[in-house]
Copies of this chain bind each other. A is one copy, B any other.
Amino acid sequence: MSSSPPLVVTPQSMQFAGPLALRSGASISDYTLAYETYGTLNAERSNAVLVCHALNASHHVAGVYQGQARSEGWWDNMVGPGKPLDTDRFFVIGVNNLGSCFGSTGPMHVNPATGRVYGADFPVVTVEDWVDAQAALLDALGIETLAAVMGGSLGGMQALSWTLQYPERVRHAVVVASAPNLTAENIAFNEVARRAIVTDPDFHGGHFYEHGVVPKRGLRIARMIGHITYLSDDVMNAKFGRILRSAVEGENNGEAAGADYRYSTQDVEFQIESYLRYQGDKFSEYFDANTYLLITRALDYFDPARNHGGKLSAALAQARAKFLLVSFKTDWRFSPARSREIVKALLDNSRNVSYAEIDAPHGHDAFLLDDVRYMGVVRSYFERVAKEFQQ
Protein backbone atom coordinates (compact mmCIF):
# COMPACT_ATOMS: atom_id res chain seq x y z
CA MET A 1 0.00 0.00 0.00
CA SER A 2 2.99 2.27 0.55
CA SER A 3 6.22 3.01 -1.23
CA SER A 4 7.65 5.02 1.66
CA PRO A 5 11.23 4.22 2.75
CA PRO A 6 11.53 2.00 5.84
CA LEU A 7 10.82 3.81 9.08
CA VAL A 8 13.98 4.04 11.17
CA VAL A 9 13.28 4.49 14.86
CA THR A 10 15.17 4.94 18.11
CA PRO A 11 13.96 3.64 21.47
CA GLN A 12 13.63 6.22 24.21
CA SER A 13 13.08 6.07 27.92
CA MET A 14 11.51 8.27 30.57
CA GLN A 15 12.35 8.25 34.27
CA PHE A 16 9.63 8.64 36.88
CA ALA A 17 10.19 9.34 40.55
CA GLY A 18 6.77 8.01 41.41
CA PRO A 19 5.43 6.61 43.59
CA LEU A 20 2.87 4.95 41.35
CA ALA A 21 0.11 3.44 43.47
CA LEU A 22 -0.74 -0.10 42.32
CA ARG A 23 -4.03 -1.98 42.62
CA SER A 24 -2.38 -4.50 44.95
CA GLY A 25 -1.88 -1.77 47.55
CA ALA A 26 1.87 -1.66 46.88
CA SER A 27 3.52 1.16 44.97
CA ILE A 28 6.57 1.56 42.79
CA SER A 29 9.04 4.43 42.79
CA ASP A 30 12.03 5.42 40.66
CA TYR A 31 10.88 3.53 37.60
CA THR A 32 11.64 3.82 33.91
CA LEU A 33 9.34 3.37 30.93
CA ALA A 34 10.86 2.44 27.57
CA TYR A 35 8.88 3.85 24.66
CA GLU A 36 9.02 4.74 20.99
CA THR A 37 7.15 7.25 18.88
CA TYR A 38 6.40 7.29 15.15
CA GLY A 39 5.19 10.23 13.09
CA THR A 40 4.76 13.80 14.26
CA LEU A 41 2.53 15.26 16.95
CA ASN A 42 0.45 18.00 15.36
CA ALA A 43 0.23 21.53 16.73
CA GLU A 44 -3.16 20.85 18.35
CA ARG A 45 -1.69 17.68 19.95
CA SER A 46 -4.81 15.89 18.72
CA ASN A 47 -3.36 13.10 16.55
CA ALA A 48 -1.75 10.84 19.19
CA VAL A 49 -2.48 7.12 19.16
CA LEU A 50 -1.26 4.83 21.93
CA VAL A 51 -0.56 1.22 20.94
CA CYS A 52 -0.59 -1.27 23.84
CA HIS A 53 1.31 -4.54 23.69
CA ALA A 54 0.35 -8.09 24.63
CA LEU A 55 2.22 -10.78 26.55
CA ASN A 56 5.61 -11.00 24.86
CA ALA A 57 5.86 -7.81 22.82
CA SER A 58 7.32 -4.42 23.65
CA HIS A 59 7.40 -0.69 22.89
CA HIS A 60 9.02 -1.53 19.53
CA VAL A 61 5.75 -1.51 17.60
CA ALA A 62 6.94 -0.38 14.18
CA GLY A 63 9.94 0.47 12.03
CA VAL A 64 13.47 -0.86 12.26
CA TYR A 65 16.55 0.02 14.29
CA GLN A 66 19.40 1.63 12.41
CA GLY A 67 21.87 -0.93 11.15
CA GLN A 68 20.06 -3.90 12.71
CA ALA A 69 18.79 -6.63 10.43
CA ARG A 70 15.50 -8.26 11.37
CA SER A 71 14.59 -5.54 13.83
CA GLU A 72 11.08 -4.84 12.52
CA GLY A 73 8.56 -3.83 15.16
CA TRP A 74 5.99 -6.43 16.16
CA TRP A 75 3.11 -4.60 14.44
CA ASP A 76 5.10 -3.20 11.50
CA ASN A 77 2.44 -4.44 9.08
CA MET A 78 -0.17 -2.32 10.90
CA VAL A 79 1.74 0.83 11.90
CA GLY A 80 3.92 3.00 9.68
CA PRO A 81 3.86 5.41 6.74
CA GLY A 82 0.89 4.50 4.55
CA LYS A 83 -0.04 1.56 6.82
CA PRO A 84 -3.55 1.11 8.27
CA LEU A 85 -2.48 3.14 11.30
CA ASP A 86 -0.71 5.72 9.16
CA THR A 87 2.23 7.46 10.81
CA ASP A 88 2.11 10.14 8.10
CA ARG A 89 -1.09 11.29 9.80
CA PHE A 90 -0.88 10.00 13.37
CA PHE A 91 1.66 10.38 16.13
CA VAL A 92 1.92 6.81 17.42
CA ILE A 93 3.35 5.84 20.80
CA GLY A 94 4.45 2.38 21.93
CA VAL A 95 5.27 1.78 25.63
CA ASN A 96 6.87 -1.22 27.25
CA ASN A 97 4.77 -2.08 30.29
CA LEU A 98 6.04 -2.13 33.86
CA GLY A 99 7.24 -5.58 34.83
CA SER A 100 8.10 -6.51 31.26
CA CYS A 101 11.65 -7.36 30.19
CA PHE A 102 12.39 -5.08 27.25
CA GLY A 103 13.60 -1.87 28.87
CA SER A 104 10.96 -0.68 31.31
CA THR A 105 11.54 -1.38 34.99
CA GLY A 106 10.98 -5.05 35.70
CA PRO A 107 11.92 -7.98 37.93
CA MET A 108 15.48 -8.14 36.59
CA HIS A 109 16.25 -4.61 37.77
CA VAL A 110 17.53 -3.42 41.11
CA ASN A 111 14.92 -2.32 43.62
CA PRO A 112 16.22 1.09 44.70
CA ALA A 113 14.63 0.64 48.12
CA THR A 114 16.68 -2.48 48.91
CA GLY A 115 19.62 -2.45 46.53
CA ARG A 116 18.70 -6.02 45.51
CA VAL A 117 17.34 -7.26 42.21
CA TYR A 118 13.52 -7.36 42.45
CA GLY A 119 13.06 -10.93 41.19
CA ALA A 120 9.92 -12.43 42.66
CA ASP A 121 9.52 -9.33 44.88
CA PHE A 122 8.54 -7.15 41.93
CA PRO A 123 5.05 -5.93 42.80
CA VAL A 124 2.10 -7.57 41.05
CA VAL A 125 0.92 -5.24 38.30
CA THR A 126 -2.51 -5.10 36.69
CA VAL A 127 -3.88 -3.84 33.40
CA GLU A 128 -5.19 -0.84 35.33
CA ASP A 129 -1.71 -0.11 36.74
CA TRP A 130 -0.20 -0.24 33.27
CA VAL A 131 -2.80 2.22 32.02
CA ASP A 132 -1.97 4.57 34.91
CA ALA A 133 1.72 4.36 34.01
CA GLN A 134 0.95 4.99 30.34
CA ALA A 135 -1.12 8.02 31.36
CA ALA A 136 1.84 9.37 33.35
CA LEU A 137 4.02 9.00 30.26
CA LEU A 138 1.45 10.87 28.15
CA ASP A 139 1.43 13.64 30.78
CA ALA A 140 5.21 13.88 30.49
CA LEU A 141 4.90 14.03 26.69
CA GLY A 142 2.30 16.80 26.97
CA ILE A 143 -0.52 14.76 25.49
CA GLU A 144 -3.83 15.30 27.21
CA THR A 145 -6.15 13.47 24.83
CA LEU A 146 -5.60 10.43 22.62
CA ALA A 147 -7.12 10.33 19.16
CA ALA A 148 -7.18 6.59 19.80
CA VAL A 149 -5.86 3.81 21.96
CA MET A 150 -5.35 0.47 20.26
CA GLY A 151 -4.29 -3.04 21.17
CA GLY A 152 -4.74 -6.72 20.45
CA SER A 153 -5.30 -9.50 22.99
CA LEU A 154 -3.95 -8.25 26.36
CA GLY A 155 -3.28 -4.97 24.51
CA GLY A 156 -6.99 -4.76 23.76
CA MET A 157 -7.72 -5.11 27.47
CA GLN A 158 -5.54 -2.07 28.11
CA ALA A 159 -7.34 -0.14 25.36
CA LEU A 160 -10.69 -1.04 26.92
CA SER A 161 -9.44 -0.11 30.39
CA TRP A 162 -8.27 3.31 29.13
CA THR A 163 -11.86 4.15 28.22
CA LEU A 164 -12.95 3.33 31.77
CA GLN A 165 -10.07 4.82 33.77
CA TYR A 166 -9.61 7.97 31.67
CA PRO A 167 -12.87 8.32 29.73
CA GLU A 168 -12.24 11.99 28.88
CA ARG A 169 -8.76 11.35 27.49
CA VAL A 170 -9.72 8.80 24.78
CA ARG A 171 -11.73 9.62 21.66
CA HIS A 172 -11.52 6.16 20.05
CA ALA A 173 -10.62 2.67 21.23
CA VAL A 174 -9.61 -0.12 18.84
CA VAL A 175 -9.88 -3.45 20.65
CA VAL A 176 -8.71 -6.47 18.62
CA ALA A 177 -8.98 -10.19 19.49
CA SER A 178 -9.62 -9.40 23.11
CA ALA A 179 -12.00 -10.32 25.93
CA PRO A 180 -13.70 -8.66 28.91
CA ASN A 181 -11.94 -11.17 31.20
CA LEU A 182 -10.37 -14.64 31.08
CA THR A 183 -12.45 -17.80 31.13
CA ALA A 184 -11.58 -20.66 33.50
CA GLU A 185 -9.86 -22.38 30.57
CA ASN A 186 -7.76 -19.30 29.82
CA ILE A 187 -6.70 -19.12 33.47
CA ALA A 188 -6.01 -22.86 33.44
CA PHE A 189 -3.54 -22.57 30.56
CA ASN A 190 -1.81 -19.65 32.30
CA GLU A 191 -1.58 -21.63 35.50
CA VAL A 192 0.04 -24.66 33.85
CA ALA A 193 2.62 -22.37 32.26
CA ARG A 194 3.30 -20.71 35.61
CA ARG A 195 3.63 -24.04 37.39
CA ALA A 196 6.14 -25.19 34.78
CA ILE A 197 8.24 -22.10 35.53
CA VAL A 198 7.86 -22.03 39.31
CA THR A 199 8.62 -25.76 39.74
CA ASP A 200 11.73 -25.58 37.56
CA PRO A 201 14.61 -26.14 40.04
CA ASP A 202 16.42 -23.23 38.39
CA PHE A 203 13.63 -20.82 39.39
CA HIS A 204 14.87 -20.54 43.00
CA GLY A 205 11.66 -18.96 44.19
CA GLY A 206 12.04 -16.23 41.58
CA HIS A 207 15.54 -15.18 42.69
CA PHE A 208 17.38 -17.13 40.01
CA TYR A 209 19.39 -14.06 38.96
CA GLU A 210 21.48 -14.39 42.12
CA HIS A 211 22.26 -17.99 41.18
CA GLY A 212 23.41 -17.18 37.66
CA VAL A 213 20.79 -19.48 36.11
CA VAL A 214 17.54 -19.11 34.20
CA PRO A 215 14.55 -21.50 34.51
CA LYS A 216 14.70 -22.33 30.83
CA ARG A 217 12.88 -25.66 31.12
CA GLY A 218 9.86 -23.94 32.56
CA LEU A 219 9.97 -21.08 30.05
CA ARG A 220 10.14 -23.56 27.18
CA ILE A 221 7.06 -25.42 28.41
CA ALA A 222 5.21 -22.14 29.01
CA ARG A 223 5.94 -20.96 25.49
CA MET A 224 4.96 -24.27 23.91
CA ILE A 225 1.60 -24.16 25.69
CA GLY A 226 1.14 -20.54 24.65
CA HIS A 227 1.88 -21.33 21.02
CA ILE A 228 -0.74 -24.04 20.88
CA THR A 229 -3.39 -21.62 22.11
CA TYR A 230 -2.34 -18.92 19.64
CA LEU A 231 -2.95 -21.12 16.59
CA SER A 232 -6.16 -22.62 15.28
CA ASP A 233 -6.51 -26.37 14.92
CA ASP A 234 -7.05 -25.82 11.19
CA VAL A 235 -3.92 -23.78 10.60
CA MET A 236 -1.85 -26.29 12.60
CA ASN A 237 -3.20 -29.08 10.43
CA ALA A 238 -2.57 -27.10 7.25
CA LYS A 239 0.96 -26.11 8.30
CA PHE A 240 2.14 -29.29 10.06
CA GLY A 241 -0.55 -31.95 9.95
CA ARG A 242 1.02 -35.33 10.67
CA ILE A 243 4.15 -34.62 8.63
CA LEU A 244 7.18 -36.46 9.96
CA ARG A 245 10.43 -34.69 10.71
CA SER A 246 12.30 -37.42 8.83
CA ALA A 247 10.30 -36.67 5.69
CA VAL A 248 11.25 -33.00 5.87
CA GLU A 249 14.90 -33.79 6.56
CA GLY A 250 14.91 -36.18 3.62
CA GLU A 251 13.51 -33.48 1.34
CA ASN A 252 16.09 -30.99 2.57
CA ASN A 253 18.83 -33.48 1.75
CA GLY A 254 17.38 -34.01 -1.71
CA GLU A 255 16.40 -37.56 -0.77
CA ALA A 256 13.10 -39.20 -1.52
CA ALA A 257 10.73 -38.33 1.29
CA GLY A 258 11.43 -40.67 4.18
CA ALA A 259 8.13 -41.42 5.83
CA ASP A 260 8.70 -44.13 8.36
CA TYR A 261 8.19 -43.83 12.07
CA ARG A 262 11.35 -43.88 14.17
CA TYR A 263 9.47 -45.36 17.12
CA SER A 264 10.90 -43.12 19.80
CA THR A 265 9.26 -41.50 22.81
CA GLN A 266 11.89 -38.81 23.32
CA ASP A 267 13.18 -37.87 19.86
CA VAL A 268 11.37 -35.50 17.53
CA GLU A 269 9.08 -37.55 15.31
CA PHE A 270 6.55 -35.04 13.92
CA GLN A 271 7.20 -31.61 12.43
CA ILE A 272 4.84 -29.97 14.93
CA GLU A 273 7.13 -31.19 17.73
CA SER A 274 10.16 -29.69 16.04
CA TYR A 275 8.34 -26.37 15.60
CA LEU A 276 7.21 -26.21 19.23
CA ARG A 277 10.63 -27.14 20.60
CA TYR A 278 12.23 -24.46 18.46
CA GLN A 279 9.76 -21.82 19.61
CA GLY A 280 10.26 -22.85 23.22
CA ASP A 281 14.05 -22.78 22.98
CA LYS A 282 14.11 -19.38 21.29
CA PHE A 283 11.74 -17.86 23.85
CA SER A 284 13.69 -19.23 26.83
CA GLU A 285 16.79 -17.38 25.60
CA TYR A 286 15.33 -13.90 25.94
CA PHE A 287 12.19 -13.82 28.06
CA ASP A 288 12.23 -13.24 31.80
CA ALA A 289 10.53 -15.88 33.93
CA ASN A 290 9.19 -13.45 36.53
CA THR A 291 7.81 -11.27 33.74
CA TYR A 292 5.93 -14.30 32.41
CA LEU A 293 4.32 -14.79 35.81
CA LEU A 294 3.46 -11.12 36.18
CA ILE A 295 1.93 -10.70 32.74
CA THR A 296 -0.14 -13.88 32.85
CA ARG A 297 -1.42 -12.77 36.25
CA ALA A 298 -2.38 -9.36 34.84
CA LEU A 299 -4.41 -11.28 32.26
CA ASP A 300 -6.07 -13.39 34.97
CA TYR A 301 -6.95 -10.37 37.09
CA PHE A 302 -8.45 -8.19 34.37
CA ASP A 303 -12.20 -8.10 34.90
CA PRO A 304 -13.79 -4.66 34.72
CA ALA A 305 -17.23 -6.09 35.55
CA ARG A 306 -15.96 -7.39 38.86
CA ASN A 307 -16.68 -4.21 40.81
CA HIS A 308 -20.09 -3.94 39.15
CA GLY A 309 -21.62 -7.18 40.39
CA GLY A 310 -20.28 -9.00 37.35
CA LYS A 311 -22.33 -6.77 35.02
CA LEU A 312 -20.19 -5.71 32.07
CA SER A 313 -22.84 -3.25 30.88
CA ALA A 314 -22.65 -1.44 34.21
CA ALA A 315 -18.83 -1.40 34.05
CA LEU A 316 -18.72 0.02 30.52
CA ALA A 317 -21.22 2.77 31.31
CA GLN A 318 -18.18 4.88 32.22
CA ALA A 319 -16.77 4.76 28.69
CA ARG A 320 -17.12 7.86 26.50
CA ALA A 321 -15.00 6.76 23.54
CA LYS A 322 -16.16 5.43 20.19
CA PHE A 323 -15.13 1.83 19.58
CA LEU A 324 -13.94 -0.53 16.92
CA LEU A 325 -13.98 -4.18 17.99
CA VAL A 326 -12.39 -6.86 15.81
CA SER A 327 -12.41 -10.61 16.39
CA PHE A 328 -11.35 -13.67 14.39
CA LYS A 329 -13.65 -16.64 13.81
CA THR A 330 -10.96 -19.30 14.44
CA ASP A 331 -9.62 -17.64 17.61
CA TRP A 332 -10.40 -20.13 20.38
CA ARG A 333 -8.30 -18.31 22.98
CA PHE A 334 -10.40 -15.13 22.85
CA SER A 335 -13.30 -16.23 20.72
CA PRO A 336 -15.62 -13.85 18.84
CA ALA A 337 -18.25 -14.52 21.51
CA ARG A 338 -16.03 -12.68 23.99
CA SER A 339 -15.78 -9.63 21.71
CA ARG A 340 -19.54 -9.74 21.22
CA GLU A 341 -19.97 -9.50 25.00
CA ILE A 342 -18.09 -6.20 24.88
CA VAL A 343 -20.08 -5.02 21.85
CA LYS A 344 -23.36 -5.85 23.58
CA ALA A 345 -22.34 -4.08 26.80
CA LEU A 346 -21.38 -0.97 24.80
CA LEU A 347 -24.65 -1.02 22.87
CA ASP A 348 -26.53 -1.40 26.18
CA ASN A 349 -24.99 1.99 26.97
CA SER A 350 -25.83 3.43 23.51
CA ARG A 351 -22.15 3.79 22.73
CA ASN A 352 -20.91 4.23 19.18
CA VAL A 353 -19.38 0.87 18.26
CA SER A 354 -18.27 -0.81 15.03
CA TYR A 355 -17.63 -4.54 15.05
CA ALA A 356 -15.91 -6.78 12.51
CA GLU A 357 -15.73 -10.56 12.84
CA ILE A 358 -13.03 -11.67 10.42
CA ASP A 359 -13.16 -15.15 8.90
CA ALA A 360 -9.38 -15.63 9.10
CA PRO A 361 -7.95 -19.13 9.53
CA HIS A 362 -5.04 -18.28 11.85
CA GLY A 363 -6.62 -18.39 15.29
CA HIS A 364 -5.58 -15.84 17.92
CA ASP A 365 -2.38 -15.07 16.03
CA ALA A 366 -4.50 -13.51 13.27
CA PHE A 367 -4.38 -10.16 15.06
CA LEU A 368 -0.67 -9.91 14.20
CA LEU A 369 -0.97 -11.16 10.62
CA ASP A 370 -1.96 -9.67 7.31
CA ASP A 371 -5.51 -10.21 6.22
CA VAL A 372 -6.92 -7.79 3.67
CA ARG A 373 -10.32 -7.63 5.36
CA TYR A 374 -8.81 -7.03 8.80
CA MET A 375 -6.32 -4.46 7.55
CA GLY A 376 -9.04 -2.82 5.47
CA VAL A 377 -11.38 -2.43 8.44
CA VAL A 378 -8.67 -0.87 10.63
CA ARG A 379 -7.55 1.43 7.78
CA SER A 380 -11.09 2.67 7.19
CA TYR A 381 -11.65 3.23 10.87
CA PHE A 382 -8.49 5.32 11.24
CA GLU A 383 -9.45 7.34 8.15
CA ARG A 384 -12.61 8.26 10.02
CA VAL A 385 -10.61 9.08 13.16
CA ALA A 386 -8.26 11.27 11.10
CA LYS A 387 -11.14 13.24 9.66
CA GLU A 388 -12.11 14.39 13.15
CA PHE A 389 -8.88 16.31 13.72
CA GLN A 390 -8.31 17.34 10.10
CA GLN A 391 -11.55 19.31 9.97
Contacts and interface: CB of A to CB of B under 8 A. Distances in A.
Contacts of A293: 265-266
A52 to B, nearest CB: 21
Interface string A117-137: 000100010000000000000
Given A192-B276, A280-B195, A124 B184 contact: no
B183 A236 contact: yes
A142 interface: no
A365 interface: no
Interface of A: 23-26, 120, 124, 181-185, 187-189, 191-192, 194-196, 198-201, 206, 217, 220-221, 224-225, 227-228, 231, 233, 236-237, 239-242, 261, 263-266, 269-270, 272-273, 276-277, 280, 290, 293-294, 296-297, 300-301, 303, 332
Given A182-B242, A237-B184, A242-B181, A191 B224 contact: yes
A277 B192 CA distance: 9
Given A181-B242, A272-B187, A276-B188, A265 B194 contact: yes
A124 B191 contact: no
Among A201, A221, A231, residue most surrounded by chain B Cβ atoms (within 10 Å)? A221
A286 to B, nearest CB: 19
B24 A187 contact: no
A10 to B, nearest CB: 33
Contacts of A266: 120, 194, 198, 206, 293
Contact of A221 (B196, B269, B276): B196
A360 to B, nearest CB: 17
Nearest to A292: B265
Given A26-B263, A188-B236, A265-B294, 20 more contacts: A120-B265, A124-B263, A182-B242, A184-B239, A184-B242, A185-B228, A185-B231, A187-B242, A188-B228, A189-B228, A192-B224, A192-B225, A194-B265, A199-B217, A201-B201, A261-B301, A264-B297, A265-B290, A265-B293, A266-B293
